[in-house]
């Protein structure tokens, strides 16, 4: 028969395949095995729908034979086979798949790695083979045909002989070069490893010949062995899988010595059908909070691995989830892939996200200790999810958050806080600082505790930013205890204070002059023993100022600082006296008091020399 030429686009793809520098050449086996499995599916389906066809599922198999002498790999199946026309049509042109891949690559200027991501079917075999023979006998036909090609000069289809229905594909491996050795694919262990990696859950047995050593006779014989495990754990019924099986699957697959905090196994049928098996680890991997960490779930198409880490399946704030998704609606083939994949994947991702969310909520409800351990490991990521989306993810995440509380210094949810609010309380109070103990000692916190208000203690650097992105919870605004608008005083107290402040207005003006960074000075009635404290007006708290200014972006933000003086403290009277008698000394006192307040808040002193001199001057006075 006359040699036929490949179509132009096909030639270009073949060219790429043949000269592929792609490192995952091993995917060719995945492609050929998938084709074999599809061919068996087709014949098996016939046997189900056509009563004349008598076939037993157990008779179906895929065989892989390695021949070191001839340097060939043969993949055979007893599936539906191909007629002469089908060989010509299916293998002669690179199906739509190939040409649209090519377009895609041209458009996006993607590199050749895309081949490994999705696979381009039969032609990937030219990455490792210099010649390919496909011997096939179609179901219902008496004749067999052979398709032969070296990839470059077209192909031939000739009449041949084959006893049984099915297809036998023989790859003549390329010669080894200085850079590439193809001999590795002739090694039993290597090939077996590739099958295990990509095709472990193909539903028909993949059989290889294996040498088995006989212990007694010290002889070895060759036996057939099924390489793949066929039924994946996620295809089994949840009620039939033990916790132990889930856990050992998890630790084998994701290399974690500790059992997961939670396992999520779900099968969904509908718009898009899929099985998902996901795990919430009970601790953060060592690289979790580094940029080396890669999120993603394994993506299978009907038991065949397409992608090891499909990032699009997980939102960033759930990036800690490990696991896999298997869907027959996601095609192994790139062409249909590229058209549909986005939409299908999005639907799956959305539904997985909901599933993860409810699972975490259940864990929180049912096993508080386990949830707190989880939160210890991944809470930062959830908070970051709120902060980094400017509140877009609030609905999803707000009920998964925990914050320390002034009550027992235990972690509470926002719901628990709100349920526990005092009568008439309509705000959520928080204080921030370096550590729980330090926050607990802040002057501003003291009066809230005295009045029996619960205060959230924010000691993660991200906490206050998260709170600001949340803005409110169930209609209750978040208010920093150190801000102006706390509003927990009795009306009479408030009135008295206002009056006092008005009277001392001129004095405060004088004091403010000596404190360039300070927006306001005033009396307060909220302090018990402390003489002074700092508060802020506006959105930026002192803690946030500290964090923002320590960031490498070189930001320089300023909180609007208010120096508050305890009106019941003897120092208040003393200041008023000085205002009348000695304005210089008033200035000295003001500077010292302001710096004291900064020390209490854990803030740096702008000019320590000036401060110590001032104190010494006062100390040396007679
Ligand atoms: P795809 O499988 O994505 O369609 P391929 O290039 O891998 O693309 O295969 C092209 C076509 O050749 C298949 O759709 C199928 O019809 C046919 N084919 C390939 N391998 C076999 C096989 N082992 N048995 C029967 N048909 C096959």
Instruction: pLDDT band for 192, please (50, 70, 90 cuts).
Output: very high
Q: Is residue 383 part of a domain?
A: no
State the pairing for strand pair 476-480/427-432: parallel
Average pLDDT value for the chain:
86
Q: What does the pLDDT read at residue 94? A: 54
Pocket perturbation via mutation, ligand 1, pick of 41, 86, 90, 100 by most ligand atoms within 8 A of CB = 90
Q: What does the pLDDT read at residue 486? A: 64
Report CA(2)–ligand 1 centroid distance (Å).
23
* pLDDT at residue 450 is higher than 50: yes
- Are residues 28 and 152 both part of a single domain? yes
- Among 420, 394, 387, smallest CA distance to 405 is for 420
Please count the CA atoms within 13 angstroms of the CA of 55 that sit on its side-chain side: 21
Residue 561 belongs to domain with CATH number: 1.20.120.790
Instruction: pLDDT band for 352, please (50, 70, 90 cuts).
Output: very high
- Residue finishing a domain among 455, 480, 505: 480
**Residue range 72-93: average pLDDT?**
92
The total of other beta-carbon atoms located within 10 Å of residue 395's CB is 9
Distance in angstroms (rounded) separating the CA atoms of residues 293 and 299: 18
**Residue range 481-502: average pLDDT?**
80
**Residue range 379-393: average pLDDT?**
90
* Domain coverage including residue 283: 233-370
- Are residues 555 and 593 both part of a single domain? yes
Q: How far is CA 373 from the centre of its chain?
A: 19
Distance in angstroms (rounded) separating the CA atoms of residues 358 and 340: 28
- Are residues 199 and 245 both part of a single domain? no
Instruction: pLDDT band for 338, please (50, 70, 90 cuts).
Output: low
String of b and e for 514-550 (b: at least 16 CB within 10 Å)? bbeebebbbbbbbbeebbbbbbbeeebbbbbbbbbee
404-421 confidence digits (pLDDT tens):
999 988 999 999 999 999
Farthest CA pair distance, the chain: 122
- Are residues 450 and 525 both part of a single domain? no
User: Whose C-alpha lies nearest to ligand 1, atom 12?
Assistant: 90
Q: Is residue 590 part of a domain?
A: yes
Cβ atoms of 323 and 260 within 8 Å: the answer is no
Q: Three-class SS string for 157-199?
A: EEEECCCCCEEEEEEEECCCCCCCCCHHHHCHHHHHHHHHHHH
Instruction: pLDDT band for 152, please (50, 70, 90 cuts).
Output: confident
Instruction: pLDDT band for 128, please (50, 70, 90 cuts).
Output: very high
Distance in angstroms (rounded) separating the CA atoms of residues 157 and 101: 26
- Residue finishing a domain among 370, 386, 421: 370
300-317 confidence digits (pLDDT tens):
888 877 788 888 899 999
Cβ atoms of 119 and 30 within 8 Å: the answer is yes
Cβ atoms of 79 and 32 within 8 Å: the answer is no
Q: Is residue 298 part of a domain?
A: yes
- Are residues 340 and 365 both part of a single domain? yes
Q: Is residue 421 part of a domain?
A: yes
- Residue finishing a domain among 419, 452, 480: 480
Report CA(46)–ligand 1 centroid distance (Å).
17
75, β-bridge pairs: 64, 169
User: Whose C-alpha lies nearest to ligand 1, atom 20?
Assistant: 35
Where do the H-state alpha helices sit in 315-429? 334-366, 368-388, 394-397, 414-419
List, chain by chain if needed, residues with CB within 6 Å of any ligand 1 atom: 31, 35-36, 39, 77, 79-82, 90-91, 95, 97, 121-123, 167, 333
Cβ atoms of 165 and 138 within 8 Å: the answer is yes
Q: Is residue 609 part of a domain?
A: yes
* pLDDT at residue 395 is higher than 60: yes
Q: Is residue 487 part of a domain?
A: no
- Are residues 222 and 238 both part of a single domain? no
Residue 47 belongs to domain with CATH number: 3.30.565.10
* pTM of the predicted protein model: 0.69
- Hey, is 386 helix, strand or coil? helix
Residue 431 belongs to domain with CATH number: 3.40.50.11260
- Are residues 22 and 98 both part of a single domain? yes
Q: What does the pLDDT read at residue 229? A: 86
- Are residues 348 and 475 both part of a single domain? no
Q: Is residue 81 part of a domain?
A: yes
Per the structure, the count of domains in the chain is 4
- Are residues 356 and 272 both part of a single domain? yes
Could you tell me the sign of the dihedral formed by the alpha carbons of 61, 194, 332, 71, in that order? negative
24-56 confidence digits (pLDDT tens):
788 899 989 999 998 998 898 787 777 777 777
Pocket perturbation via mutation, ligand 1, pick of 81, 122, 155 by most ligand atoms within 8 A of CB = 122
Instruction: Render 518-548 in DSSP notation, one character per residue.
Output: EEEEEEES--SS-SEEEEEESS--HHHHHHH
Distance in angstroms (rounded) separating the CA atoms of residues 293 and 321: 12
Q: Is residue 293 part of a domain?
A: yes
Q: What does the pLDDT read at residue 45? A: 77
232-254 confidence digits (pLDDT tens):
899 989 998 999 889 988 988 89
- Are residues 247 and 212 both part of a single domain? no
Instruction: pLDDT band for 484, please (50, 70, 90 cuts).
Output: low
- Are residues 466 and 503 both part of a single domain? no
- Are residues 188 and 64 both part of a single domain? yes
Report CA(90)–ligand 1 centroid distance (Å).
6
Ligand 1 atom closest to the CA of 169, numbered from 1? 23
């Amino acid at each position: 028969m006359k040699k036929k030429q490949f179509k132009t686009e096909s030639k270009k793809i073949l060219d790429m395949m043949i000269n592929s520098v792609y490192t995952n050449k091993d995917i060719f086996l995945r492609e050929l095995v998938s084709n074999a499995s599809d061919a068996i599916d087709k014949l098996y389906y016939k046997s189900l729908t056509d009563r004349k066809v008598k076939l037993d599922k157990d008779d179906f198999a895929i065989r892989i034979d390695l021949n070191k002498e001839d340097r060939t790999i043969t993949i055979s199946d007893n599936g539906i086979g191909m007629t002469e026309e089908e060989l010509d049509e299916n293998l002669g042109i690179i199906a739509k798949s190939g040409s649209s891949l090519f377009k895609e690559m041209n458009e996006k200027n993607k590199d050749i790695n895309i081949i490994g991501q999705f696979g381009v079917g039969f032609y990937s075999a030219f990455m490792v083979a210099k010649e390919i023979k496909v011997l096939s006998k179609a179901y219902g036909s008496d004749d067999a045909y052979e398709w032969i090609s070296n990839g470059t000069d077209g192909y031939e289809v000739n009449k041949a002989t084959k006893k049984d229905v099915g297809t036998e594909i023989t790859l003549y491996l390329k010669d080894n070069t200085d850079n590439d050795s193809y001999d590795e694919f002739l090694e039993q262990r290597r090939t077996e490893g590739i099958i295990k990696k990509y095709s472990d859950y193909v539903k028909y047995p993949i059989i290889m010949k294996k040498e088995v050593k006989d212990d007694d006779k010290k002889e070895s014989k060759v036996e057939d062995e099924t390489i793949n495990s066929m039924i994946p754990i996620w295809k089994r019924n949840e009620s039939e899988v033990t916790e132990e099986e889930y856990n050992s699957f998890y630790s084998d697959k994701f290399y974690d010595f500790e059992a997961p905090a939670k396992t999520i196994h779900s099968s969904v049928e509908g718009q898009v059908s899929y099985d998902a098996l996901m795990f919430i680890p009970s601790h953060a991997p060592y690289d979790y909070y580094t940029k080396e960490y890669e999120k993603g779930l394994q993506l299978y198409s009907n038991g065949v691995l397409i992608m090891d880490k499909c990032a699009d399946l997980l939102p960033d704030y759930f990036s800690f989830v490990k696991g896999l998704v298997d869907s027959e609606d996601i095609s192994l083939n790139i062409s249909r892939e590229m058209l549909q994949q986005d939409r299908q994947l999005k639907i799956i991702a959305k539904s997985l996200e909901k599933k993860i969310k409810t699972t975490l909520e259940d864990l929180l409800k049912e096993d508080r200790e386990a949830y707190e351990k989880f939160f210890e490991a991944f809470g930062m990521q959830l908070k970051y999810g709120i902060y980094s989306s400017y509140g877009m993810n609030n609905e999803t995440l707000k009920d998964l958050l925990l914050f320390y509380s002034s009550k027992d210094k235990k972690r509470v949810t926002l719901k628990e806080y709100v349920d526990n609010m005092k009568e008439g309380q309509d705000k959520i109070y928080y204080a921030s600082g370096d550590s729980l103990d330090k926050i607990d000692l802040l002057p501003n916190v003291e009066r809230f505790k005295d009045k029996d208000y619960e205060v959230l203690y924010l000691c993660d650097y991200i906490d206050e930013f998260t709170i600001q992105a949340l803005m409110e919870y169930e209609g209750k605004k978040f208010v920093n205890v150190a801000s102006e608008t706390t509003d927990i005083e009795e009306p009479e107290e408030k009135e008295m204070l206002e009056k006092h402040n008005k009277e001392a207005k001129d004095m405060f003006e004088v004091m403010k002059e000596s404190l360039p960074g300070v927006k306001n000075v005033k009396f307060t009635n909220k302090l018990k023993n402390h003489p002074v404290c700092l508060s802020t007006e506006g959105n930026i708290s002192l803690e946030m100022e500290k964090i923002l200014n320590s960031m490498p972006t070189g930001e320089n933000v300023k909180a609007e600082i208010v120096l508050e003086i305890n009106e019941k403290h003897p120092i208040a009277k003393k200041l008023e006296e000085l205002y009348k008698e000695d304005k210089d000394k008033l200035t000295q006192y003001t500077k010292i008091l302001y710096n004291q307040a900064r020390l209490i808040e854990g803030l740096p002193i702008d000019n320590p020399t000036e401060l110590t001199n001032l104190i010494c001057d006062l100390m040396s006075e007679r």
